Every structure is written in structure tokens, then in C-alpha cells.
Amino acid sequence: MTGSWLDTSVRGLLHQALDVYRDNPRATGHIHDHLARLDQPLRVAVVGRWRSGKSTLLNALLGEEVAPVDGNAFTWYEDGPQPDATAYSAHHPPQRLAVLRSGTGMRVDLAGWRTGELSDIVVRWPARSLRQVTLLDTPPVGVDEHARDPVLERVLREADAMLYLTRDARGADLRVLQRTREGAVGQAAAVHIILVLSRVDESGGGRVDALLGARQRARRALRDPHLDALCVTAVACSGLLGLAGRVLGEADFAGLAALAQVPRAELEPYLLSAERFARSEPPVPLDAATRSALLDRLGVVGVRLATTLARTGHRSRTALSAELVRHAGLSELRESINRLLVDRRTVLKARSALVGMETLLRGEPAPGAEELLATVEQILAGAHEFQESRLLAALRSSRLGFDAESTQEARRLVGGDGDSPAARLGIAPDAQLAQLWEAAADARWRWQERAVDPALPLAQRRGAQVVARSCEGMLAELAAHAR
């Protein structure tokens, strides 16, 4: 029922819209784009204000250093057989760009282009992480707080989901994010935004435990109802450390291992500041070039963290790498992206199609557009999938306070482990209809009871309501099958 129902109704809506706008070539082109987008990989935009760490995080997600190309262009990262890049601009035909490979990534040669001239750069890059997701690096948003933001508007139009990077999750950052809640679809549940507390390695006065503190901050941020309404979940992540972990080379590791040999008290003065580390000669043989490379790669906080990790048992490159990635919060972020965005691809795709349709129908009135707008609202009202997505996110961050068993069952029932009724009910796929029915009815009763149990906290009751509603949906679907 999930996904499929929403998907079917959205496709139906798009075909109806094609009929309504059959005399309007621009609108039909638009609708065809949306139809095509439904089958393309999920587009995830990395959005943030100026210097919020967008490109670094994007590199960390790709696991390679695909250097930031142009601060004013939208850069699309797609899967491709071999690296290549194409530049699109308003006044020139698309043009291939030279790609220079480096040890840990590549660099796109932008010679001959003025800043601001390019509107889009499409980079094709063979990476596993790009199979299902197209990543989108954007120019900074929220430059002028009072005007409409063209970048944000384009992101809302063209991306299916976004990672919103913020350093402190309040003030001006949130005001930018508020703008995403425009239109009927925007007012519906926010399932497409993951809030990322970025550059967390620099917070907390540069202490090694800054990352743990940041994780707590992310969890606390979600308790703020304003923030909770704006995003599906919040994750703390240091793009710099994550990237360092993913591309950590042998030379770097050797340097870190050497540093870890030095007793802590003896090493500390050298790690007090970045400048000290770069300038003064530490008690181990480590040349200035390596030190500066380490500093570039990890930052002084990262060097401190990495040496501490290396000292406490992570003695191989891979172990240190993995630990850095975990510490940086990158693995949690990737997991969140996979579970909440990629797995819910159909829902997000349908959502962006609805957004596009709403804009089109409101912007270009045509006979019949009113009825279609009503259909959009009808689909929104019937789309339980958004609630499920949000519940899944809440279950992931265990902020509802369900015990482990209930959490797991709830996740399964709302489609976190698979979309078919059997997967949802946790029954063998070849089970009889009657068996499925019985299990679904049983689950429905149990969760319904929970939803009205006055002893439970409100958040749990709300969650239970969503689960019960999912069960009802399954029952309805099974009944339809039986007929």
C-alpha cells in the first residue's frame, strides 16, 4: 500500500495535468520532466549558509576529494562509468570540462570561465554511493535575509531532499529553513530535510569530546518543536574528520602513528594550536610537509583526536579510518540518509512531484487546474507515508522512549524493513492471506490500545496512532486483494 499508492496517485495526477495543459508546451515540458524524475535516482542537495561546510561534507559523503568547483554554480554529482564534467551556462552551449585526477580525488579545470557565468556543472564520477543518489552542491543560501532566496527556491524545486547544514541550529539559519514551508505541500510533514550540525570539530573550545557534545546537541535540538517541524531528523557531523577518515593515506597514518608514540603530556604542547604544530619540531621525526598535510587533512582538533585514537588501540590504518568516520558522525549521517531518504525514495519523489504540480497549478491557471489542486490536497490528506517517514526517523533517534522490542515492531509495521505486508508484519513472504489478515488485525488492536493508553506519554501515543493507521491501511489492502 505505501509508496505504491502514493506513486500511483501522483503519476495519475501528472497525466491528468498533461491533459489540462495540452496547449501549453512549457507546462507539458515541465510535467514530462517530473514524470521522468520519478524514475531517476534521488536528488539530495547539500544546502547551507556561507562557509557552513557544504563542499567538505559532500566530499566526505562521496569519500573522495572532488574539489569544490564554483561557488556560484549548482554542481551535480552523478554516477558515471568514468570521471567527466560538463558545464552548462545561460549563454553558451554545454561544454566538456577537463578533469584532473589527483591521489585522493579529482579537480575540475574551470579555466576560461568567469565566476557567476556557469549555472550548472554536472560531474560524473564512478562511485557506489552515487548509484541511488544524485548529490547536489549549492551556492550559499540566506545571503540576504529579507529577500527571496533564488538558491533555496531552486533547491526546493529541483531537489527531492536536502541536507541542511548549520553551525548552531538557530537564529538566521532557522529563518532560512522556515522558508521551505511554503505552499500546501510544504506545510505537510517535513520528510525531506535532514538537519546537519556541521563543522562540529570546531565547537566546544576544540576539545576532543566536542563531537560527543555535538551529538547531544543534535538530540536536544530535535526536542525543540520548532526545529522538529522543520526537519525529519538532526545529525551532528564533522565533514572534515569524516573526509579525513575516508581518504586517510598510509603516509598520513604513519605520521599519526609516530605522533601517538610520544607520551601524551610530552606531545600536548605541540598540539595546542595549529600554528605550533606546523611550526615547531615535535619530538618524533616528522617533516614539515607531512605535518602541514596532516593539518590540512584533519585540522588541529582532528590531529589531537586521531593521535588519541591511535594511542588507545586503533593501530591500523583501516581501524583508525573507521573510527574517525564513526567519530565524525559521518556513518550516522550516511545511515540516516540511507534509511530516511534513499529507502523512502518513492515517498520523496512523489513529494517533489506534488510540490512541482502545486507550483505549476498555482502559477499557470488553466481550466481544470482548480480541480487538480483539489486532487493535490486530497493526495496530501491521504498520504500516510509522510507520517510513517517521520515516525521512522523518530524511532531511529529513539526519542519517543519505546522499549527496544516495541521500537523494532513499530519500525517494521510502518515499513522500515520493507514495504510488502509480509515484510511489515514480519511473516514469511509466502504466507496465506488469512494469516496476514490475522497478524495485521492483531497488530492493529495492540497499537490502537497503546494509542489511547492514558498512562503513556503523548509522543508515544501519537506514534502508536501512526502505527495503528499503517495497520489499518494494510487491512484495507488485504481486503482489496481478497475481493
Partner 1 sequence: MVAGIWLDVLDDIARTCQEHNRNDLLQAVRLKRAHLLDPTLTVLIVGEANQGKSQLVNAIVTAPVCPVGDNRTTVLPTVVRHAEAISATVVQTPVPAPGTLATVATTVERHPVPTEQVAAGVAGGVGRRPGGGPAYVEIGVPRRLLGAGVVLVDTPGSDDLPSANTGTPVTSLARADAVLLVTDSTRDLSATELTMLLHLTRAHANVIVVQTKTDLVPDWRAVADRNRRHLVDAGVPATLIPVSAALRLHAAATDDHALNAESGFPALIARIRHDLAGKSDLLAPASVAMIARTVIEQLAAPLRAELESQQSTEESAPLARLHAAQREVDELRRCSTRWQNTLTDEMADLLSDIEYDLRDRTRHILKMVDEAFETADPLVAWDTVQTWLTRSLVEAAEANRQWLTLRCEHVARRVAEAFTRYGHGVLPPWPLVTPPAHRAPPPEIERPTVERFTVGQKVFTGMKGSYGGLLMFGLALTLAGMPMINPISISAGALFGGKSIRDEGRQLLRRRQATVKAAVQRHVDDFFVRVSKESRDTARQVQRVLRDHFAALTDELQAGIVESLRTAKKAADTDAAARERRQHEIMRRMSRLAAVYEQAQQVAGTRPAPLAARP
Residue 67 CB, nearest distance to partner 1 (Å)? Answer: 18
CA distances from 53 to 142, 158, 271, 296, 437 (A): 15, 21, 23, 14, 50
Binding mask 136-155 for partner 1 (x = CB under 8 A): -------x------------
Among 34, 124, 192, 199, binds partner 1 (CB under 8 A): 199
Q: Which is nearer to partner 1, 203 or 406 (CB)?
A: 203
Question: Do the beta carbons of residue 293 and residue 252 sit within 8 Å?
Answer: yes
CA distance 80 to 396: 32
Q: What are the CB-based long-range contacts (under 8 Å, 24+) for 8-12?
A: 9/379, 9/382, 10/38, 10/350, 10/353, 10/354, 10/379, 11/35, 11/38
CA distance 424 to 414: 7
Residue 268 CB, nearest distance to partner 1 (Å)? Answer: 8
427 binds partner 1 (CB under 8 A): no
Among 44, 136, 214, 247, binds partner 1 (CB under 8 A): 214
Question: Do the beta carbons of residue 84 and residue 96 sit within 8 Å?
Answer: yes
Residue 203 CB, nearest distance to partner 1 (Å)? Answer: 5
CA distances from 405 to 151, 395, 401, 438, 454 (A): 43, 11, 11, 20, 21
168 binds partner 1 (CB under 8 A): yes
Neighbours of 190 (CB within 10 A): 21
Count of helix runs (H) and strand runs (E) in the chain: 22, 12
Residues of this chain, 362-391, that bind partner 1 according to CB under 8 A? none
Question: Do the beta carbons of residue 340 and residue 194 sit within 8 Å?
Answer: yes
300 binds partner 1 (CB under 8 A): yes
Instruction: Let me know if 10 is exposed, middle or buried by CB neighbors in 10 A (0-12, 13-18, 19+).
Output: buried
Residues of this chain, 109-128, that bind partner 1 according to CB under 8 A? none
Q: How many CA atoms lie within 13 A of 437 on its CB side?
A: 9
Among 278, 427, 441, 459, binds partner 1 (CB under 8 A): 278
Q: Which is nearer to partner 1, 175 or 315 (CB)?
A: 175
Q: Which is nearer to partner 1, 275 or 335 (CB)?
A: 275
Alpha-carbon torsion 89, 95, 100, 105, what sign? Answer: positive
274 binds partner 1 (CB under 8 A): yes
Among 48, 139, 299, 463, binds partner 1 (CB under 8 A): 299
For the chain, the farthest-separated pair of C-alpha atoms sits apart, in whole angstroms, at 80
Residue 214 CB, nearest distance to partner 1 (Å)? Answer: 6
172 binds partner 1 (CB under 8 A): yes
Q: Which is nearer to partner 1, 211 or 309 (CB)?
A: 211
Selected range binding partner 1 among 17-25, 56-64, 112-120, 195-203, rule: CB under 8 A: 195-203
Contacts with partner 1: how many residues (CB under 8 A)?
34
Interface positions with partner 1 (CB under 8 A): 50-51, 143, 167-168, 170-172, 199, 202-206, 210, 213-214, 216-217, 220, 269, 272-278, 292, 295-296, 299-301
